Structure 1
């Protein structure tokens, strides 16, 4: 019996740029990264999503925007 994973998630960085504001933890600059994620089932694409993730350039923490 063989068990194979048929679902896959691939993330691709589209671009990086400086975001306004400072990190609340260390006061460093905030960097915005545009990421495209693609879910696949048996090599067939199911869903494309583009998100913007925010990171601090000094302490490398991921920041949440509310």
Structure 2
């Protein structure tokens, strides 16, 4: 319980754009979302991470890229 008040995670959407390709499940358009994650310890920033996540705009499924 005490760790919940000491550590805090904030997520912010930086931008959204259309990605190339179609959804393999429904054939809808794919959108790419850039998300910034901040870890805070007693209101002091510890870590910043920026990730890009892909999802379908029609069926709202999260899509994963395999290289």
- Fold agreement, TM-score > 0.5: yes
Give the TM-score normalised by the residue count of structure 1: 0.91
Paired residue secondary structure (1:5): helix
Cα distance between partner residues in 2 of 1:8 and 1:39: 6
Q: Matches of residues 10-49 of structure 1 in structure 2 within 5 Å? A: 10-49=10-49
Cα distance between partner residues in 2 of 1:24 and 1:5: 41
Deviations 1:8-58 (A, max 9, x none): 110101100000011111110000001110011111111000000001000
Please, which runs of 5 or more residues in structure 2 have no aligned partner?
none
Please, which runs of 5 or more residues in structure 1 have no aligned partner?
none
Pairwise CA distance, 1:65: 1.0
Query: Is the helix fraction higher in 1 or 2?
Result: 2
Give the TM-score normalised by the residue count of structure 2: 0.90
